[in-house]
Amino acid sequence: MPTAIVTTVMAIATSSMAPVLFSALSRHQHNQVEFEKTFLTFQKYMALFLVPLGVGMFVYQDFIVEILLGPQWKLAGIVLGSQGFKLVPSNGNILFNIRSIPCEGDA
């Protein structure tokens, strides 16, 4: 159940922006440089929103579980907090432009 809460919150946050992203990317579908620039900019702004959301879910895990699930689910706060905090490294990489090392076959 706590995992579903995190997934639902993140899905609401990201799915509302999908039409905006698709319309912006469709304008640059034949220009690879502009397409990539638009996508990475959008990704960075989404990370600016999602990183604090994940940290907030981690910090207020007990409060969120108490309100949404009730006091009998108190131990589920650990799961909720860890799932929320799990999002920070993946979005933090985007936010701080940490790039992976390319593989041998990558162009």
Full-prediction pTM beyond 0.75?
A: no
Give the contacts of 54 (CB within 8 A, at least 6 positions apart): 84, 85, 86, 87, 88, 91
- Tens-place pLDDT, residues 50-90: 888 888 888 998 998 899 888 898 888 888 888 877 776 66
